[in-house]
Structure 1
Amino acid sequence: MKYGFWLPIFGGWLRNVKEENMPPTFEYAKKVIQSAEEWGYDTTLIAELYLNDIKGTDKDSLEAWSTAAALAAVTEKIEIMTAVRPIYHNPAVTAKMAANIDHISNGRFTLNIVSGWWVEEAKQYGGDFTEHDERYDRTEEFIEILKGLWTEDTFSYDGKFYQIENTKLSPKPVQRPNPILYAGGESEKGKQIISSLCDAYVIHGHTVEEAKVKITDMKKRREEAGREPLATIGMAAYVICRDTEEEAQEELKRITTVKDLSGYAGFKDFTSKSELEQQIQLQDYSVSNRGIRPNLVGTPEQIAKQILAFEEVGVDLLLLQCSPQLEELERFSKQVMPKVEELRSALTKN
């Protein structure tokens, strides 16, 4: 199992807790990523939203790509996965920017392709927000242009959404043939794009059985599409590690009790503009990305057993959220990571 975390760009992950002592500043983000690199984390995911979806649209948040470039220059080992939403970006310019950040990071920059779901944000920031399937048609063209520019000396493209002619991109990315392209998606259209054009799969938080069904289906789709196995299968998860199960459950109750709806501005768009496989309730939405569904809640040993259960069904990267992030990532690295190895070793011996 590899361990990653969502970079704290919103000032927290809890919609029902006003102050989490994790400010949305570059200095805090840098401290978190540099510390996590020392603690053995493999990846950070930087969400791309121009409005603060967690604390409210009037609150501060960091921009993903400029933050990624800055962090690439002050880290050495950790993978920097940054979201990109085609409705806001020119694909040729994006390909150039990604190649540049890949060089800054010496081959550690990857992309999470997101087709977009927030109508109000698109209105404010000029995103070309269309119907669901059309957004995915745009994404398909976007990816084809990225890959074409990264791999060919001269590339032209004449599509419905994008047209470029005799385009040259140098230098090419450090990673060959291209930086890893992650994507998630629960609609049929989304799954088709992941199975045919992307390299790695990321899912929202799920139970073990839900994750097993999704992963089995995607592996089958990849085979049918004639594609190589996925490089990585990642899952979002919110972790609450405490000395006792009672303490962990008390914390879970505290963070999921809905009192103030200011952090729920995107809830209606997320549930109505996306084609989701599970119905999402306000309690699920209290923590970003359905993070409480994986149930990484309890003592280090309880969490470690749950991680091994996810590993058994094919999850090989956990993208963690926690609060406050710096302290909880350290706790997880020192108490849970070794416990996973201990339990895995014991199972192997038996």
Structure 2
Amino acid sequence: MKYGFWLPIFGGWLRNVDDENMPPTFEYAKQVVQSAEKWGYDTTLIAELYLNDIKGIEHDSIEAWSTAAALAAVTDKIEIMAAVRPVFHNPAVTAKMAANIDHISNGRFTLNVVSGWWEEEARQYNGDFTEHDERYKRTEEFLDVLKGMWTEKQFNYKGKFYEVSNAHLEPKPVQRPNPILYAGGESERGKQVIVDACDAYVMHGGTVEEIKTKVENMKALRAETGKEPLQSFGLAAYIICRDTEEEVVEEWKRITDMKETSGYSGYEDFVGKSQLEQQVKLNDYSVSNRGLRPNLIGTPEQIADRIIEFENIGVDLLLLQFSPQLEEMERFSKQVMPLVEEKRKLLGQG
């Protein structure tokens, strides 16, 4: 199992807790990532949203790509995965930027391709927000251009959304043929784009049974394309790790105690503009990315057991959220990661 975490670019992950002691600043982000390298984390995912979807649109947030480049320069080992949304980007320019960050990081830069769901944000930032299936058509073309620019000496392309003529991109990325392309999607259209054009699948939080079905489905869809199997299956999850079950319940109640807050301003677009496989309730939405559904909640022993359950059904990357970030990341690295390894060895899986 690889351990990743979402970079806290919004000031936290809890929509109904005002101050999580996680300032949305580059200095704090740098401290988190550099500490994570020491604690054994493998990946950080930097979400790309121009408005703060967690604390409310009037609050501070950090831009993803400039942050990714800066973190690439001050780290040594960790994979830096930046989200990219085609509705806001020129794909040829994005390919050039990605290749440059890949060189800055010496081959540690990857992309999480997100077709987008927040119409209000697109309106404010002049994104070309279209209907659901049209967004995925754009994503297909966007990926065509990225990969063409990264692999061909001189690239030409003409599609519905993009046109590129005799384009050169040098130097090519460090990673060949391309930086890993992660993507998530739950609609049939979205999943088809992923199996046709991406390298790895990332999922919102779900139960073991829900995730098992998704992994099996995506493996079958990928096999139908005749391509190599997907390289990785990642899962978002929020961690509540405490010494006793009583403490766990107390923390769970604290973070899901619903209240009126502008952090829920994107809720209607998220559930209405996406085609989700599981119904999302406001209680799920109180923690971003359905982080509570995997139930990585409990004592270190209980969480380690559940991680092995996910590993056994094909999940090989956890994209974790913590609050407060530094304190809980360190606790997880010292109390849970070693337990998973011990349990794996006892089961003959190490």
Give the TM-score band, short-chain normalised. Answer: over 0.9
Structure 2 gaps, min length 5:
none
TM-score, reference length from structure 1: 0.99
Answer yes or no: is 1:340 the counterpart of 2:346. no
Structure 2 residue aligned with 1:221: 221
Aligned residues: 350
CA distance, structure 1, for counterparts of residue 142 and residue 348 of structure 2 = 44
1:183 equivalent in structure 2 = 183
**CA distance in structure 1 between the aligned counterparts of 2:261 and 2:278, rounded to whole angstroms:** 22
**Structure 1 segment 200-279 matched on structure 2, within 5 A:** 200-279=200-279
CA apart distance, 1:230? 1.1
For the residues of structure 2 that align with 1:4 and 1:306, how far apart are their CA atoms? 16
CA distance in 2, matches of 1:24, 1:159: 38
The one-letter code of the counterpart of 2:108 is R
Shift in Å at residue 261 of structure 1?
Answer: 2.7
C-alpha distance after superposition, 1:252-286 (max 9, x if no partner):
11101111231101000000000000110000000
2:59 paired with 1:59: yes
Residue number in structure 2 paired with 1:324: 324
Cα shift readout 1:127-168 (whole Å, capped 9, x = no counterpart): 000000000000000000000010000000000000010000
RMSD after superposition: 0.9
Counterpart CA distance in 2 for 1:128 and 1:293 is 32
SS at 1:160 equivalent? coil
Q: Please report how far the alpha carbon of residue 245 of structure 1 lies from its aligned counterpart in structure 2 after TM superposition.
A: 1.2
Q: C-alpha offsets along residues 56-107 of structure 1, whole Å, 9 cap, x if unaligned? A: 0000000000000000000000000000000000000000000000000000
| Pair 1:33 & 2:33 matched | yes
Q: Which runs of 5+ in 1 are unaligned?
A: none
Superposition pairs for residues 78-157 of structure 1, below 5 Å? 78-157=78-157
Cα separation, 1, equivalents of 2:260 and 2:301:
34
Contact kept, 8 Å, 1:195 with 1:218, in 2: the verdict is: yes
Q: Identity over aligned residues, as a percent?
A: 75
1:45 counterpart = 2:40: no
Give the CA deviation at 1:349: 8.5
Q: Name 2:159's counterpart in structure 1.
A: 159
Counterpart contact for 1:291–1:321, Cα < 8 Å? yes
Secondary structure of the 1:156 match is strand
- Counterpart residue identity of residue 161, structure 1: F
**Structure 2 letter corresponding to 1:288:** S
Aligned counterpart, 2:174: 174
SS in 2 for 1:348: coil
Q: Please, which moves more after superposition, 42-51 or 338-347?
A: 338-347
**How far apart are residue 348 of structure 1 and its match?**
1.5
SS at match of 1:274: coil
Specify the code of the residue in structure 2 equivalent to 1:91.
P
Do the aligned partners of 1:249 and 1:297 also contact (CA within 8 Å) in 2? no
- TM-score relative to the length of structure 2: 0.99
* 1:13-40 Cα distance to aligned partner (Å, 9 max, x none): 0001000000000000000000000100
Q: Distance in 1 between matches of 2:323 and 2:32?
A: 12
Q: Which residue identity does 1:329 align to in structure 2? A: M
